[in-house]
Chains A and B, each alone.
Chain A
Amino acid sequence: MDARNIDYEYSRLILPVGPVHPSLKEPVNLSVTVVNEEIVDVNVKLNYIYRGIEYLAERRNIAQTIYLVERICGLCSQAHSLTFIQALEEIANIQPPERAEFIRVICAELERIHSHMLLLGVVAYDIGLDTLFMYAFKSRETVMDLLEKISGKRVHHDLNTIGGVRFDIDEDLRRLIIKELKYVKRNLDYISEVLEDATVENRLREVGVLPSKIAEELSVVGPTARGSGLTKDVRFNRSYSVYRDYKNSFKIVVLKDGDCLARVKIRVLEVYESISLIETLLDNMPDTPIRIGERILKIIKRIPVGEAISIVEAPRGQLAHYVYTNGGEGLKRLSVRTPTIPNITAVKYMLMHRQIADIPVVFSSIDPCISCANRVTVTDAAKNKTIIVNLENLRRRM
């Protein structure tokens, strides 16, 4: 190397945030270039936890893949399996009983509550307010216990199956859910009061601003988009399942500020909406069976060759599954687009010209799920080129 060309700029510091860092829950590397505590460049590196789930899905039969897909993400497990099952039911032309759809949506909304509570806690931890972290996680525990009461599992519920659900919500459980949600609501009132606190606002207001124009260009999704004033919610824009009939039982929350406080507040308000939706759904549950009578191993035998895209509003935003069945109990191709993929591109814009102190809170305010977002790009080191995968290649799995 030519020593003369190295021109050190001593005030410029490249700060490696991650892959192991106290504010990051999952391995990701943000190479932040800092000049006098001001951020001038951000480089996000993923791919520390690539798991090859799409590849695995193509080597198993559909009944096994349902459980595999659920394990893509710990927080959105119900959203992932709901999306996948909806795509399969579309291909197989199966209509699940009405009660099953109710239970699916109730669990999806419970999951939204505990996912949003997690984000509130993580943001509070990042700004150094451990007390709010503890309170948020206390309510989250309540919701996770409810999910455990419904399905027997706290994280991966294994609830959905083709043509229905596996667990029912009986009268006792219904009353328990309503009672516990009242407790969550009370806690939430307290949490939203704490968020009004001056020191909290000080750390969140006008931090990591994402104007709606930029948000539209980067096509961010979910609460990140709604915090920037975009009315993007799959539950409204392309409503599915029970949301079609119960659009009026909850409101879409949109705030215009585009800063971290808006993104955090949206979570709080959405939990209120989710609670009211769950209460309405629990009151109006139809009395039908919870699944079609046929056994799953027989169903997967008669799923024809076909493809479908299913889109669902996961807690973090729009989640899409592209499913291509091979007609012989298996899948030819599964492609998952998780909400973190578009959202993580917005981090660079949000962090530009901010201070080091804002890195953790801005990064967690988009609620990143790194393990969902890991993909492989094919690069040829010898020829020094990157292969861009188009739709045709995607279908043929390259």
Chain B
Amino acid sequence: MVELIEVAAILAAIPLLILVSLLAEGLDRKIYARMQGRIGPPILQPLYDLIKLAGKERIIPVTAKRNIFIIAPYIAFLFSISALVIPAVTLISNLNFTGDLILIAYMMVTVTLMYIIGGAVSGNPYSSIGMSRAIVMMLAYEIPLLACFIMVAVKSGLTLGLYNIIMVQIESRQPLAFIYPSIALTAAVFLLCTPAAAEVQPFDIPVAKTEIIHGPLTEYTGLYLALFKLAKSNQTLLLNILSVILFFYPVFTPLNSNLLNLIIVLTIALIIRFFTVTIPRAVFARLRVTEALKLYWITASILILSAAILTGLGV
């Protein structure tokens, strides 16, 4: 019986989370517009875009590998939404299973891989350039991001479950980033990687519209494009929620307060989104791919290495 309720909670969470991730994107676009001195679109605009795109004609180029071209967006969407459901359900119904951190990391990488595969099979020169750039960017930010997961897992007592990480923070009555200096550094790396994973302005190199049109998504239309866009906005929200859960969990909220818990975490996630997605998007010009690679491999690796050394020292 308990299992049934949990399954129902997961099923109910999916459309809710899609709506939340779209609303978060709409809010981001609205704030971005206000920062530029524009009025901006309504907050529901991403939802309208999605509905409109889903009803449009789906064009498959003759040069594309048809089956993979169609399957890639579906896989990207399914993996992104399942990855988003895990932390949400953990917060709502205290679902606890070991290894969900690894599952989330695996699903996040798969979403990016689907972008790359979609670009590779499109048969368009812009898509292939976007694909090669996406691979370079993935190498740049995905490794520090995974290293962050490992650091958190080690410092929270060699656990790989989100529930356990939350419990560690609640028991010590302090967010993890405030307990250990090494985790504070790790949090810095994680937040540094967020704009690259969300593909916003200084790091929107794979989809730079003035340079390579839309990168891997150049040939995608209709529902397929909508699914890819949805996958991207899910992934951005997931990163923000994860940065709250892993580093800045609001310890004053008890874990058994169900929806309230999720709402508080979402609010903090939106604040983090403002600083890691909206502000870089508004104030920075796009980097070149080599510079982005250099930034991530030098800055992020120095930070994560010093965090590892601090962990070795036991702080």
Chain A positions within 8 Å of B, measured between CB atoms, are 13-16, 21-23, 34, 37, 124-131, 134-135, 138, 197, 199-200, 202-203, 355-357, 359-360
On whether A127 and B286 interact (CB within 8 A), knowing A21-B213, A356-B211, the answer reads: yes
Taking the closest CB of chain A, its distance from the CB of B245, in whole angstroms, is 31
Bitwise interface map of B from 14 to 56 toward A, beta carbon under 8 Å scored 1, else 0: 0000000000000000000001111000000000000000000
Name A131's contact: one of B36, B129, B204 (CB within 8 Å).
B36
Does A128 lie within 8 Å of B213, measured CB to CB?
A: no
Does B284 lie within 8 Å of A199, measured CB to CB?
A: yes
Does A15 lie within 8 Å of B125, measured CB to CB?
A: yes
Does A23 lie within 8 Å of B211, measured CB to CB?
A: yes
Does B211 lie within 8 Å of A359, measured CB to CB?
A: yes
Name B285's contact: one of A22, A37, A199, A360 (CB within 8 Å).
A199
- Chain A residues within 8 Å of B264, by CB: none
Q: A131-B282, A203-B287 are known; give 20 further A-B pairs, CB within 8 A.
A: A15-B129, A21-B213, A22-B209, A22-B210, A22-B213, A23-B209, A34-B129, A37-B129, A37-B289, A129-B284, A130-B36, A130-B282, A131-B36, A131-B283, A135-B36, A199-B284, A199-B287, A202-B288, A357-B208, A357-B211
Is B57 at the interface (CB under 8 A from chain A)?
no
Question: What residue in chain A is nearest B209 (Cβ atoms)?
Answer: A22
Tell which of A15, A16, A199, A360 has the most Cβ of chain B within 10 Å.
A199
- Chain B residues within 8 Å of A200, by CB: 285
Contacts between chains A and B (CB distance < 8 A), count: 78
The 3 closest A-B pairs by CB, nearest first: A128-B286, A23-B210, A134-B36
- Chain B residues within 8 Å of A197, by CB: 283, 285
In the bound complex, CA of A200 to CA of B283 (Å)? 10
Does A356 lie within 8 Å of B286, measured CB to CB?
A: no
Name B38's contact: one of A134, A355, A357 (CB within 8 Å).
A134
Is B75 at the interface (CB under 8 A from chain A)?
no
Taking the closest CB of chain A, its distance from the CB of B294, in whole angstroms, is 12
- Chain A residues within 8 Å of B211, by CB: 23, 356-357, 359-360
In the bound complex, CA of A202 to CA of B38 (Å)? 27
Taking the closest CB of chain B, its distance from the CB of A137, in whole angstroms, is 10
In the bound complex, CA of A21 to CA of B210 (Å)? 8
- Chain B residues within 8 Å of A126, by CB: 210
Does A128 lie within 8 Å of B288, measured CB to CB?
A: no
- Chain B residues within 8 Å of A127, by CB: 285-286
Question: What residue in chain B is nearest A355 (Cβ atoms)?
Answer: B288
Name B129's contact: one of A134, A199, A356 (CB within 8 Å).
A356
Q: Give 26 A-B contacts (CB < 8 Å), ordered by A residue.
A: A15-B126, A16-B125, A21-B213, A22-B210, A22-B213, A23-B210, A37-B129, A37-B132, A37-B289, A125-B210, A126-B210, A128-B202, A128-B284, A131-B35, A131-B36, A131-B283, A135-B37, A138-B37, A199-B287, A202-B288, A203-B286, A356-B211, A357-B205, A357-B286, A357-B288, A360-B210
Is B3 at the interface (CB under 8 A from chain A)?
no
Taking the closest CB of chain B, its distance from the CB of A391, in whole angstroms, is 41
In the bound complex, CA of A58 to CA of B245 (Å)? 74
Question: What residue in chain A is nearest B38 (Cβ atoms)?
Answer: A134
Taking the closest CB of chain B, its distance from the CB of A52, in whole angstroms, is 31
In the bound complex, CA of A168 to CA of B252 (Å)? 70
Is B171 at the interface (CB under 8 A from chain A)?
no
Taking the closest CB of chain A, its distance from the CB of B205, in whole angstroms, is 8
Is B233 at the interface (CB under 8 A from chain A)?
no
Taking the closest CB of chain B, its distance from the CB of A384, in whole angstroms, is 31
Does A199 lie within 8 Å of B202, measured CB to CB?
A: yes
Taking the closest CB of chain A, its distance from the CB of B125, in whole angstroms, is 5
On whether A202 and B37 interact (CB within 8 A), knowing A22-B209, A23-B211, the answer reads: no
Does B283 lie within 8 Å of A128, measured CB to CB?
A: no
Is B212 at the interface (CB under 8 A from chain A)?
yes
- Chain A residues within 8 Å of B282, by CB: 130-131
Does B202 lie within 8 Å of A356, measured CB to CB?
A: no
Is B201 at the interface (CB under 8 A from chain A)?
yes
Question: What residue in chain A is nearest B203 (Cβ atoms)?
Answer: A128
Question: What residue in chain B is nearest A132 (Cβ atoms)?
Answer: B285
In the bound complex, CA of A355 to CA of B212 (Å)? 12
Name B288's contact: one of A134, A203, A359 (CB within 8 Å).
A203
- Chain A residues within 8 Å of B38, by CB: 134
Name B291's contact: one of A16, A125, A202 (CB within 8 Å).
A202
